[in-house]
Structure 1
Amino acid sequence: MPHNLLMIEDDARLAQMVSEYLGQSGLHVAHCGDGQGGLARLTGPDAAELPDLVILDLMLPDMDGLEICRRIRALPAPASQVPVLMLTAKGDPMDRVIGLEIGADDYLPKPFEPRELLARIRAILRRRETGVQPAAQTLRFGSLEIDRDARTVTVNGQLADLTSYQFDLLVTIAERAGRVLTRDQIMEAVRGRELEAFDRSIDVHMGRIRAAIEADPKNPRRILTVRGVGYVFAKQQD
């Protein structure tokens, strides 16, 4: 079954090029030239057929891409869980950090190679559809429950707001509770993109996960940082 993508991009020529290239790989791309139109695809009459992934430009004529990402994540599920790959023409790494902090699953600076875009899209879709399939369907750590099949996380019965990538990261470290994992090991386990020079993305996502599941994110009890090494998910039960 082909995947349906939504590209929110004001450069019509770029959108056409991307659509044609991805179409050769069995990906169907719907295009919106502004933020309002893109959001309407997720909230309006067409929302019943949500895209499998949103390609979101940072610079748009009517609305900042960061604001669009915030609004997507604020939507009711399942629209809020649609993966977002952000395109940015800015060279400042902080733009990428902010994008990840507000819920983007990945980023790609412009100009980019179409092959890299395709690889990143496939990685996100693969994480979303497969992930690690352990024996137990639900991981329980006191008030924290991680349902692999439903791809939901609850704390004290309340649904935690996580992106698809953040869910996979949480599962990766939670099923290895008590074991210290390096950033390389975590990213390899979720079968995402290769670790690159800008590796603060993993730290940003971990911060978002802590904000969603920890009672006090500044003093975490679940996801602990091992300075100079990586992260460990603590086994304590609350």
Structure 2
Amino acid sequence: MRVLILDDDEELGGLMQPVLAKYGMDLSLAFTPSQAFEQLDRQAFDALLLDMMLPELDGMSVCRTIRASGKPYAQISILALTARAELTDRIVALESGIDDFVAKPVEMRELVARIGAVVRRHRDNREPPPPVPEPQVHSGLSLSPTHMSAVYGTFEINLTELELRILQPLSEAGGAILSRAEILERIGYDTQSDPGMIDTIIYRVRQKFRDQGLKTDFIKTLRGQGYCIRAE
């Protein structure tokens, strides 16, 4: 497995190289975004370890540039190396195309596990999904992946990709309760991911419907259990 690290800490990559080599990972180093793009243009990598605080461009801008590039590396697995742990920052990063996070200082066993999980998830996602009728209607909620929207009754909102992904398993559950861990698993994240992400996204979806005038919450919270969608 080929991995590229973009971090201006020149010692960090050197420390990582022999450890990752033991797990069959060949680590290449870049210290500036321009160096990283040169390497991405020259050869294929399975994953990019991306520091969030960089010269030239910040990590979020690097990620957006990669995803919008239209080049073969646009779909590379990206893991953010960050000391910033705020949930809002992580959600914005996920919606910008980052796949997962590894906190600094880096714990190598966790890093290896997360690289493997993200690369596997990307490979699985390349398999064409079975055709799904458009739109998907469950429990009074209609989701349109094509239009990135949700309709409940006479109320319609626009969705981000992450909001859509989280609503889909809830809408398909037929009113059954899904824990936050179950939702994370169904959208492709491991159980070590922050479950608070689910709470924040659901709060945001509810607020979007409230802003449109919907007075009731059809996404129900079951304390200590999880969430479900139930029509009134």
Same fold (TM over 0.5): yes
2:151 aligns with none
Q: Which moved more, 1:81-90 or 1:122-131?
A: 122-131
1:183 aligns with 180
- TM-score using structure 2 length: 0.67
Q: Report the AA paired with residue 135 of structure 2.
A: G
CA-CA distance at 1:199 after TM superposition: 2.3
Query: Against the structure 1 CA distance between its residues 26 and 174, is the aligned structure 2 distance closer, same or farther, given a 3 Å change threshold?
Result: farther
2:131 aligns with 138
Alignment of 1:1-238 (within 5 A): 3-42=1-40, 44=41, 46=42, 49-76=43-70, 78-130=72-124, 137-142=130-135, 155=146, 169=165, 173=169, 176=172, 178-179=174-175, 180-189=177-186, 192-195=189-192, 198-202=194-198, 218-219=208-209, 225-228=219-222, 229-230=226-227
Q: Which runs of 4+ in 1 moved over 6 A?
A: 204-208
Determine helix, strand or coil for the equivalent of 2:15: helix
Query: Against the structure 1 CA distance between its residues 218 and 75, is the aligned structure 2 distance closer, same or farther, given a 3 Å change threshold?
Result: farther
Mapped contact 2:170–2:227 kept (Cα < 8 A): no
- Structure 2 CA distance for aligned equivalents of residues 16 and 56 of structure 1: 15
CA-CA distance at 1:81 after TM superposition: 2.1
Mapped contact 1:5–1:30 kept (Cα < 8 A): yes
Unaligned stretches of 5+ residues in structure 2: 138-143, 148-159, 213-217
CA-CA distance at 1:57 after TM superposition: 0.3
CA-CA distance at 1:31 after TM superposition: 1.3
- Structure 2 CA distance for aligned equivalents of residues 231 and 52 of structure 1: 36
Mapped contact 1:101–1:205 kept (Cα < 8 A): no
- Structure 2 CA distance for aligned equivalents of residues 124 and 87 of structure 1: 14
CA-CA distance at 1:20 after TM superposition: 1.7
- TM-score using structure 1 length: 0.66
Matched residue pairs, number?
Answer: 202
Query: Against the structure 1 CA distance between its residues 201 and 4, is the aligned structure 2 distance closer, same or farther, given a 3 Å change threshold?
Result: farther
- Percent identity at matched positions? 29
CA-CA distance at 1:41 after TM superposition: 3.3
Query: Against the structure 1 CA distance between its residues 143 and 54, is the aligned structure 2 distance closer, same or farther, given a 3 Å change threshold?
Result: same
- Structure 1 CA distance for aligned equivalents of residues 71 and 167 of structure 2: 20
Query: Against the structure 1 CA distance between its residues 230 and 29, is the aligned structure 2 distance closer, same or farther, given a 3 Å change threshold?
Result: farther
- Structure 2 CA distance for aligned equivalents of residues 35 and 232 of structure 1: 43
Determine helix, strand or coil for the equivalent of 1:138: coil
